[in-house]
Amino acid sequence: MGKALDVVKKFYDVTDNKKGKGMRELLADAMSFTGPLMQAHSADEYVAMSEKFLQFHRSTRMLKQFENGDDVCSIYEMTLSTPAGGTLLVPIADWIRVSNGRIAEQTIYYDARDFAKAFGM
């Protein structure tokens, strides 16, 4: 297991088990996030976005991770509660680039239709 994968595993531990506590220390200041419905252009913007989102996060089931140098691809299922009180399972693939031991970029891929409907987007 390489350094990039170690950083990404810590990131998912913080997201899944610690509800974001300690996340900021894992992110490069100029970190960028791109997803089908949301974007962030700095670590502080990402943390603020995550704080709103993590109240709905229930669990992540990691299916597979691949590492290639500073790049890590993760394929997982995320379970969310919805504002209406339901549950939503979202299959996701993401690509994270690590630089100097911190997450510099994250791009996530998923079918956003059910998510957008559940969250009124």
Sign, Cα dihedral of 22, 101, 77, 33: positive
The DSSP string of 34-78 is E-SS-EESSHHHHHHHHHHHTTTEEEEEEEEEEEETTEEEEEEEE
Burial of 23 (0-12, 13-18, 19+ CB in 10 A): buried
For 7-55, what is each residue's pLDDT tens digit? Answer: 999 999 998 877 778 899 999 999 999 999 899 999 999 999 888 888 8
Q: How far apart are CA 43 and CA 50, in angstroms?
A: 10
> Which pTM does this prediction carry?
0.90
For 44-67, what is each residue's pLDDT tens digit? Answer: 999 998 888 888 888 899 999 999
Which structural domain range is residue 9 located in?
A: 3-118
CATH number at residue 32: 3.10.450.50
Total domain count, the chain = 1
